[in-house]
């Protein structure tokens, strides 16, 4: 009896040891490489081999459940590294204990890891039935698309964003968006694994086909880069001045510092005065009061536009009456060189637990994460503001990582994208660098210039090819001056959006139906 129990214990121990060596460690390595694919600590080149260890782990998985576990390990490792800064925000600005901050960050990381877990489980399910290079990129895009929209969506650092500095490759984003780059990255990983693992003639042929496909995409990038630059070169330009006030978040909403904050932005604007009729951009809520209230602070901003004789975009809180009180909005105003309010944009896509509080009755302590004025209202849509005969699309904070927002503006005739944000919340973590890197793709997808004014940085100017013309450092007062152009270049992505994701869902459905049919025949 004791001998049998000992044998069972040994079998369990050997099984756990085998899983740890053959599956858990490779899965962890994949997660670590994914983390290293993103800024500020990473390098996008790692993404092209990041999944190979996971694929080896899945080769050793006996059941789908083992695949799910291996994928979860990969996801948890990657997302802890990518979104660790959420704990920083919760502790420093939600005023919660460190343990609570870490716990909430881990819960979000666990949720995001479920998508990679499902990805890995599906690959084990399809194994030996459909080639990995056909299933992996398709399933990945389906799940990444789901992650970007389910439960308000969290598209933060989707896989394709890792390539923001790969100038020639990202030109492909004006065809298939960031999901197209995610597809390519997973495809290359799958082909590399198949060649290394099987080394058969078939795999070498597939690798050759994919190589020529990638060569074609890079060729497209070179040609498209030249076309866009040639088209932009002919257009007249406008000078732009981006003001980075570097206002500490701990005093930003203190009533005693409202005047001081406004003086900082005014002085920086006047010190680095652009030419008449140019554009000055202040960050999100740079005016920490309701601009619509007629008072001395309101007049100071109006007088600035008169002094500079320039267009002025700035962030401020606004309100509108409703039945049970006022509805507050995170807004951006556009003032003309004559001090006239030419338009107001109210933020459409709000950040859960940052700008509105889902389930606040169940979790009242989360109210601390809002800035003292309760939930924000939702804007009516992504409608451009008019600078005489030119139109600009305003993206406030998180909206800069949403392809649908920039695309909506482009389809509504916007000719310039203006991203205003306050990344002071993030401290000196990797989040400001990640946030800025994703904005690059909005310029490429729409073939518009994008200017970005951030309270504590990173502020920058990005041209329609995704080239970062100029940028600032974080946590310093600064002014960034440059030139932009109002561009009208149509793209496939403008017209069709994420058609690749639709195709991937159709293919995934086909794969599942084919596999189910095969299983029934085997019975």
Per-residue pLDDT tens digits for 10-19: 555 555 566 5
User: Is 284 considered catalytic here?
Assistant: yes
pLDDT of residue 119: 98
Question: Residue for token digits 């310029």?
Answer: 443
Provide the pLDDT confidence category of residue 371 given band limits of 50, 70 and 90. very low
Q: Is 322 helix (H, G, I), strand (E, B) or coil?
A: strand
Using the structure block, give the residue that is written with the tokens 């561009």. 487
Q: Residue 377: its pLDDT value, please?
A: 85
Quote the distance between the C-alpha of residue 158 and its chain's center. 7
Distance in angstroms (rounded) separating the CA atoms of residues 402 and 134: 28
Instruction: Report the relative pairing of strands 311-322 and 279-281 from DSSP bridges.
Output: parallel
Nearest partner of 489 among 418, 412, 410, 419, judged by Cα: 410
Between 327 and 406, the higher pLDDT residue: 406
Residue 22 has pLDDT above 70, yes or no: yes
For residue 351, what pLDDT is reported? 81
Residue 369 — pLDDT band, cuts 50, 70, 90?
very low
pLDDT given for residue 16 in this prediction: 54
Catalytic residue among 147, 252, 347, 410: 347
The arrangement of strands across the sheet holding 450-454 comes to 385-387, 390-396, 416-421, 450-454, 460-462, 468-471
The β-bridge partners of 470 are 461
| 74 neighbors 120 (Cβ within 8 angstroms) | yes
What does the angle CA 251 – CA 256 – CA 260 come to, to the nearest 5 degrees? 80
Residues 400-411 have a mean pLDDT of 96
What 3-state DSSP class applies to 50?
A: coil
**Residue 79: what pLDDT?**
97
pLDDT at 370: 42
pLDDT of residue 1: 56
pLDDT at 469 over 90: yes
Q: Which pLDDT band holds residue 253 (cuts at 50, 70, 90)?
A: confident
Alpha-carbon 435 to chain mean position: 6
Mean pLDDT of 148-155: 90
Whether pLDDT at 374 is above 60 = no
284, 399, 415, 445: the active-site residue: 284
Neighbours of 233 (CB within 10 A): 9
Whole-angstrom distance, CA of residue 77 vs CA of residue 294: 51
- Token code pair at residue 224: 């498209």
397 a catalytic residue = yes
Q: Does residue 46 carry a pLDDT above 90?
A: yes
What is the average pLDDT value for the chain, to the nearest integer? 90
Instruction: List the catalytic residue out of 397, 399, 445, 504.
Output: 397
Instruction: Kindly report, residue by residue over 326-365, the tens digit of the pLDDT.
Output: 688 999 999 999 999 999 999 998 887 666 555 455 555 5
- Going by DSSP bridges, is the β-strand pair 460-462/450-454 parallel, antiparallel, or unpaired? antiparallel
Domains of the chain and CATH, by start: 2-230+498-522 (no CATH), 235-319+326-489 (3.60.110.10)
347 is catalytic: yes
C-alpha dihedral sign at 312, 315, 317, 320: positive
More confident residue, 352 or 102: 102
pLDDT of residue 184: 98
pLDDT tens profile 201-214: 989 999 999 999 99
For 493-520, what is each residue's pLDDT tens digit?
Answer: 999 999 999 999 999 999 998 887 766 6
Strand 279-281 vs strand 341-346: parallel, antiparallel, or unpaired? unpaired
pTM for the whole thing?
A: 0.91
Give the mean pLDDT of 119-147: 95
At 349 the pLDDT is 85
171: Cβ–Cβ under 8 A, 6 or more apart, which residues?
220, 221, 224, 225, 228, 444, 465, 466
Is a pLDDT exceeding 60 seen at residue 320?
yes
pLDDT, residue 372, reads: 40
């Amino acid at each position: 009896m004791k001998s049998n129990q000992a044998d069972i214990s040994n079998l369990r121990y050997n099984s756990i040891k085998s899983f740890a060596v053959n599956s858990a460690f490779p899965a962890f390595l994949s997660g670590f490489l994914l983390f290293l694919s993103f800024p500020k600590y990473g390098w996008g080149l790692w993404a092209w081999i990041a999944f190979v260890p996971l694929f080896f782990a899945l080769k050793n998985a006996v059941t789908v459940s083992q695949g799910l576990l291996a994928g979860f390990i990969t996801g948890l490792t990657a997302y802890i590294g990518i979104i660790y800064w959420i704990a920083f925000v919760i502790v420093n600005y939600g005023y919660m204990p460190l343990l609570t901050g870490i716990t909430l960050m881990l819960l979000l990381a666990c949720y995001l890891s479920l998508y990679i877990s499902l990805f890995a489980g599906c690959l084990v399910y399809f194994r030996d039935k459909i080639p990995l290079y056909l299933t992996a990129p398709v399933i990945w895009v389906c799940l990444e698309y789901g992650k970007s929209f389910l439960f308000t969506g969290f598209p933060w650092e989707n896989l394709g964003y890792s390539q923001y500095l790969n100038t020639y490759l990202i030109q492909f984003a004006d065809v298939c968006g960031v999901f197209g780059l995610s597809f390519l990255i997973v495809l290359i990983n799958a082909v590399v694994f198949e060649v290394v693992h099987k080394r058969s003639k078939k795999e070498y042929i597939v690798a050759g086909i994919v190589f020529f496909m990638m060569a074609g995409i890079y060729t497209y990038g070179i040609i498209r880069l030249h076309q866009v630059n040639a088209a932009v070169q002919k257009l007249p330009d406008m000078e732009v001045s981006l003001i980075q006030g570097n206002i500490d978040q701990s005093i930003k909403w203190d009533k005693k510092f409202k005047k001081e904050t406004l003086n900082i932005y005014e002085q920086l604007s006047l010190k680095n005065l652009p030419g008449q009729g140019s554009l000055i951009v202040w960050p999100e809520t740079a005016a920490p009061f309701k601009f619509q209230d007629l008072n001395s602070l309101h007049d100071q901003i109006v007088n600035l536009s008169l002094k500079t004789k320039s267009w002025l975009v700035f962030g401020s809180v606004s309100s509108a009456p409703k039945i049970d009180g006022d509805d507050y909005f995170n807004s951006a105003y556009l003032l003309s060189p004559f001090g006239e309010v030419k338009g107001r944009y109210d933020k459409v896509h709000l950040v859960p637990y940052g700008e509105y509080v889902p389930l606040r009755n169940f979790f009242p302590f989360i109210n601390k994460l809002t800035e003292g004025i309760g939930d924000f209202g939702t804007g009516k849509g992504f409608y451009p503001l008019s600078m005489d005969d030119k139109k600009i699309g305003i993206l406030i904070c998180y909206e800069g990582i949403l392809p649908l927002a920039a695309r909506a503006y482009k389809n509504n005739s916007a000719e310039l994208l203006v991203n205003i944000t306050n990344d002071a919340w993030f401290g000196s973590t990797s989040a400001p660098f990640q946030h800025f890197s994703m904005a690059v793709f909005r310029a490429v997808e729409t073939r518009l210039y994008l200017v970005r004014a951030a309270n504590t940085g990173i502020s920058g100017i990005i041209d329609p090819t995704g080239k970062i013309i100029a940028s600032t450092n974080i946590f310093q007062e600064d002014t960034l001056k440059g030139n932009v152009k109002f561009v009208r270049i149509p793209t496939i992505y403008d017209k069709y959006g994420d058609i690749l994701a639709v195709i991937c869902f159709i293919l995934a459905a086909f794969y599942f139906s084919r596999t189910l049919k095969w299983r029934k025949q085997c019975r």
